[in-house]
Structures are given as C-alpha cells and as structure tokens.
Amino acid sequence: MRKPPIHRSFWNAIKGVIWMLKSERNFQIEVLALLINLFLIVYLKVTEFEATIILVVSFSVLSLEILNTCVEKICDIIQPEYDERIKIIKDIAAGSVFLMAIASAIVGVLIYTKYLL
C-alpha cells in the first residue's frame, strides 16, 4: 500500500480530531478546559515555562482521551457483547486519562495559585 501524500495524512488527523469533538463528551469538556487554560495563560501573564507546562499537560489529557476512545472502539469491534475482560481493558484505558487529568489539575493549582492569591 502506498503512503498517502503528507497533506492527506494531516487532513485525516484533523478529521479524527473533528470526529472526537462531535462525538465524545469528555473530549469536549477537556477542550473547554484547554480553552480556559489558554485564556488564563494570557490573562494572568504566566511565564513561558509555566505556559509550556500547562499546554503539555492539557494536550496530554486530550491525546490520552483519543487513545482511550481508540481502545474502546477496538474492543467494541472485537467483542460487541459484554465481557469482563473487555471491561477491564476499557477501565484501564480510562484510568490513564483519569490519572493525567489529576496531574493536570495539580499542575494548574501549583501554577495558578500564586497568580490568583
């Protein structure tokens, strides 16, 4: 199979993000959190280093959410009926997003506290 042109690869990735935005409630909430962070970065004039950390953890949550959705969709294809093993796999994938979201919240508290107090 031939590789698609680079612009096609980028377009496919963008379509995947658009699908996530249209279809996945948690992704929508996490994008809203990113937008709030972008506003706070500008409004509070956080340092470049702090902004970088905030953006890295924010995009990490979004990336893990996309991977979590991939795991869930693959599991649903492999085993459409309820299966305890599939449930465990899905729970583990969701746990990775949860842990990164906690880390992101901690980073937010550590960085924003000094600007808000």
pLDDT score recorded for residue 56: 98
- Residues of the chain with pLDDT > 70, as a percent, come to 100
Q: How confident is the model at residue 82 (pLDDT cuts 50, 70, 90)?
A: very high
In sequence order, which residues have a C-beta less than 8 Å from that of residue 37 and are 6 or more positions away? 54, 55, 58, 108
Full-model pTM: 0.93
State yes or no: pLDDT of 76 exceeds 80: yes
Q: Which of 36, 22, 107 is nearest to 69 (CA)?
A: 22
Mean pLDDT of 82-87: 98
Q: Tell me the mean pLDDT in the region 91-98.
A: 98
Which tokens hold the place of 44?
Answer: 């509070």
Output the pLDDT for position 2. Answer: 84
